[in-house]
Chain A
């Protein structure tokens, strides 16, 4: 008999629900909510409690968190529920959570357990927050269970390998998302806004140069995706330069400037999380508050099918 059985975990979840229902009987029980199965693959020490709690409000899910360590431990698991009380209401809303611990070796046992744990008839999203896990042989079987795979390159040293892997998975037909791409949605949106006005759109033909400033020693995935997207959208290569400007803990785009002999269109990050848009007669600013991990995931969870624009960018890599 395997040490971890999906059926036993489901039974534990049932017991959790009965117990919660009894505790909250006077308030009319608890509201059990589940719209997706979210599988999170994280390293052993990762603290994702707050992120999961945030996501639950928008995307109530059966969350299955798989913590990977290097200590050779066998697979273990436990089940519980996360609840919150919406403001002004009497009834708590609760989501299921299963926490599994595996080593690189015992990760091979994960797919068979997962198959029995997925919430029936609902989408499955795999969030790989520990990119080394993509190198584990059993990962292909886990990915096969998911409708969408989301990877997080932030803080990952081997990000060049990860970018290649994302492109490879895309070619293999997996619906893949990269949170570095998600992080530049606002930059891309503002770039598009620069050219909403027909008279500025007409000047695009003059643009032949792109300069992106970033805050890391090397232009990271976000910078590269941004450059690739602009070239793809315009259907031509630009004279593209990357410069370091400032230094922050993680990669961050500081400015995007499109220019030509007599035109310049710029987006520049200023202080106070504000980005300024500048073109000939245009000057406007937009708030760019620091996005939390949960907000990025929320954007990806809202798109469960393929993202054709990202696919094109990946194909052009």
Chain B
């Protein structure tokens, strides 16, 4: 029997009651992102009554101490919303804590009892969502222990969210997958890539498949090349230790940016349903040409920032950052040229770059269209001095979300002088309402059983396959780091990578 009061036009999508079990509840991600996102969902009336959150970490705490700690976190990290005491008090009734070492099998027996008690008390109907917000090295022990006590199944549904990184390379990704699949079915596993939860990445799907006018241009015949840029102005800060092990290629390109590229380049799904969308993303990722070792030098560039003056201040080089080896070979910048081997994209380069300590924080996708075959305007050559044709479509993901289309227009006055102009759609000014954070979107999706914006194992496999040859070659290479100044757009070799095909990086 359906709810007779349902009104899909007016009411926000609702999710069933459930218990959310967060491993690593004392950690940074939980306090900065997860709990504020969950509180915000409660504030927006997106939760059913009876939702429960059970935190786990090694630190001994009572339920009340945990609630107090989470209250402080929400007050500190909540963005765009007021903190309401009445609502918090109600929300906090659903917060519980279960301390224990996640490596200790006995802890899981206690957790199982606690989940059952909470289910009884809060009416969660046996639905459980596990969230692995721990060190990646703990993923496998947690999953195995959950399986050992039968927490991989319940009277309702059981799902598990795994944070990236999904392995350190192809091999470790497979090891993780094997361990997970022995305990959970693929349909229970939600691999989170918060980039896909960003409103503007979702808007790429709306832009491509909700409009008929762009699709005919979306192919090798009209597109010269695609540039995806994800730049950060800050350095590694306190993440030096972690970052040293990961590097820009693993931290950004292998997961976030290849997912963005897949969203840009995938074929239209037949329906907007989780598996249909993910099938197309996976197919695209599998179509990426695998580099031969000898091609790595011409298709990939590693960089590391060095000390420089930025904005009147001395910025540290990566090797001077806290927790970083003074001889570190870690890339803080990575750029790659990818090719997609299918009929739509054959021969079209997809340039992806990401880096720390760049001139500004920006993420965007630029689709450079081919030049007109012949210029009828003698004094206005098609190509500009930068080597770029006039038509450029820019999908801005952050910070100023929106879409710009650049084209040429006649400059007012006598004669036929042309100049580029930009037609802008600004997401913020057209839809001024607050966008949910990526974690709000993704948590709600997982509770609703919607995995459209989550990564599937075959997508993870294909992404690792696309970058593994580069990782292999770079691990054997002694890089001459640092090779770019903090506050610059990256190493010269990156420009040269594009110049080989007559292209240049745009300045976002």
A residues adjacent to B (C-beta < 8 A): 31, 33, 35, 56-58, 60, 86, 88-89, 93, 185-186, 188-193, 195-198, 201-202, 204, 230, 233-235, 272, 274, 277, 281-287, 298-299, 303, 307-309
State A284–B429 Cα separation when bound (angstroms): 36
B411 sits at the interface (CB 8 A) = no
Known: A195-B4, A285-B86. A89 touches B400 (CB 8 A): yes
Q: Is the CB of B84 within 8 A of A235?
A: no
A57 → B minimal CB distance (Å) = 3
- Which single member of B3, B399, B433 contacts A192 (CB below 8 Å)? B3
Q: Is the CB of A308 within 8 A of B86?
A: no
Q: Is the CB of A192 within 8 A of B5?
A: yes
- Which single member of B11, B49, B424, B431 contacts A188 (CB below 8 Å)? B11
State A57–B434 Cα separation when bound (angstroms): 11
Q: Is the CB of A188 within 8 A of B7?
A: yes
Q: Is the CB of A58 within 8 A of B90?
A: no
State A132–B45 Cα separation when bound (angstroms): 36
- Which single member of A33, A185, A204, A274 contacts B10 (CB below 8 Å)? A185
Extra contacts besides A33-B429, A188-B5, A286-B90 (10): CB < 8 Å: A33-B430, A35-B430, A57-B433, A185-B10, A192-B3, A195-B3, A195-B5, A196-B48, A204-B4, A287-B86
Q: Is the CB of B433 within 8 A of A58?
A: yes
Q: Is the CB of B49 within 8 A of A282?
A: yes
Nearest B residue (CB) for A270: B86
Which of A186, A195, A235, A307 counts the most B-chain CB atoms under 10 A from its CB?
A195
Q: Is the CB of A188 within 8 A of B432?
A: no
B69 sits at the interface (CB 8 A) = no
Q: Is the CB of A298 within 8 A of B433?
A: yes
Chain B residues near A60: list those with CB within 8 A.
429-430
Known: A202-B1, A286-B45. A192 touches B431 (CB 8 A): no
Within 8 A of A (CB), among B75-123: 84, 86-87, 90, 123
A53 → B minimal CB distance (Å) = 11
- Which single member of A35, A198, A204, A309 contacts B7 (CB below 8 Å)? A309
B68 sits at the interface (CB 8 A) = no
Interface pairs (5), CB distance under 8 Å: A56-B432, A192-B3, A192-B6, A197-B48, A274-B86
Chain A residues near B86: list those with CB within 8 A.
272, 274, 285, 287
For the complex of A and B, 4 pairs with smallest distance between CB atoms: A57-B432, A284-B49, A192-B5, A58-B432
Which of A191, A196, A204, A234 counts the most B-chain CB atoms under 10 A from its CB?
A196
B12 sits at the interface (CB 8 A) = yes
Q: Is the CB of B48 within 8 A of A193?
A: yes
Nearest B residue (CB) for A282: B49
A186 → B minimal CB distance (Å) = 7
A72 → B minimal CB distance (Å) = 40
State A235–B5 Cα separation when bound (angstroms): 11
Nearest B residue (CB) for A233: B4
State A272–B89 Cα separation when bound (angstroms): 13
B50 sits at the interface (CB 8 A) = yes
B405 sits at the interface (CB 8 A) = no
B179 sits at the interface (CB 8 A) = no
B9 sits at the interface (CB 8 A) = yes
Proximity bits, B1-36, A CB within 8 Å = 1, else 0: 101111101111010110000000000000000000
B428 sits at the interface (CB 8 A) = yes
B193 → A minimal CB distance (Å) = 26
Q: Is the CB of A193 within 8 A of B49?
A: yes
Nearest B residue (CB) for A196: B48
B125 sits at the interface (CB 8 A) = yes
B37 → A minimal CB distance (Å) = 17
Proximity bits, B48-73, A CB within 8 Å = 1, else 0: 11100000000000000000000000
State A209–B240 Cα separation when bound (angstroms): 64
Chain B residues near A298: list those with CB within 8 A.
433
Nearest B residue (CB) for A309: B7
B43 sits at the interface (CB 8 A) = yes
State A230–B3 Cα separation when bound (angstroms): 12
Nearest B residue (CB) for A95: B429
Nearest B residue (CB) for A201: B1
Nearest B residue (CB) for A94: B429
Q: Is the CB of A192 within 8 A of B11?
A: yes
B426 sits at the interface (CB 8 A) = yes
Chain A residues near B426: list those with CB within 8 A.
31, 33, 93
Nearest B residue (CB) for A181: B10
Chain A residues near B10: list those with CB within 8 A.
185, 188-189, 299, 303, 307, 309
Chain A residues near B45: list those with CB within 8 A.
186, 189-190, 193, 286-287
Chain A residues near B1: list those with CB within 8 A.
198, 201-202
Proximity bits, B416-428, A CB within 8 Å = 1, else 0: 0000000010101
Within 8 A of A (CB), among B367-426: 399-400, 424, 426
Nearest A residue (CB) for B434: A58
A150 → B minimal CB distance (Å) = 14
Q: Is the CB of A93 within 8 A of B50?
A: no
A63 → B minimal CB distance (Å) = 15
State A284–B6 Cα separation when bound (angstroms): 19
Known: A287-B86, A303-B9, A307-B10. A201 touches B49 (CB 8 A): no
Chain B residues near A284: list those with CB within 8 A.
49-50, 90
A225 → B minimal CB distance (Å) = 13
A20 → B minimal CB distance (Å) = 15
Q: Is the CB of A31 within 8 A of B424?
A: yes
Q: Is the CB of A31 within 8 A of B429?
A: yes
- Which single member of B9, B17, B400, B431 contacts A309 (CB below 8 Å)? B9
Nearest A residue (CB) for B85: A272
A193 → B minimal CB distance (Å) = 6
Known: A285-B90, A287-B87. A197 touches B125 (CB 8 A): yes
State A120–B342 Cα separation when bound (angstroms): 41
- Which single member of B5, B17, B431 contacts A191 (CB below 8 Å)? B5
- Which single member of A230, A281, A308 contacts B9 (CB below 8 Å)? A308
Chain A residues near B7: list those with CB within 8 A.
188-189, 192, 309
Chain A residues near B428: list those with CB within 8 A.
86
- Which single member of B14, B84, B400, B431 contacts A196 (CB below 8 Å)? B14
- Which single member of A58, A86, A287, A303 contacts B84 (CB below 8 Å)? A287
Chain B residues near A282: list those with CB within 8 A.
49-50, 123
Proximity bits, B289-317, A CB within 8 Å = 1, else 0: 00000000000000000000000000000
State A189–B431 Cα separation when bound (angstroms): 23
A313 → B minimal CB distance (Å) = 11
B4 → A minimal CB distance (Å) = 5
Nearest B residue (CB) for A286: B45
Chain A residues near B49: list those with CB within 8 A.
193, 277, 282-284
Chain B residues near A309: list those with CB within 8 A.
7, 9-10
Proximity bits, B424-450, A CB within 8 Å = 1, else 0: 101011111100000000000000000
Chain A residues near B90: list those with CB within 8 A.
284-286
- Which single member of A86, A89, A193 contacts B14 (CB below 8 Å)? A193
A251 → B minimal CB distance (Å) = 20
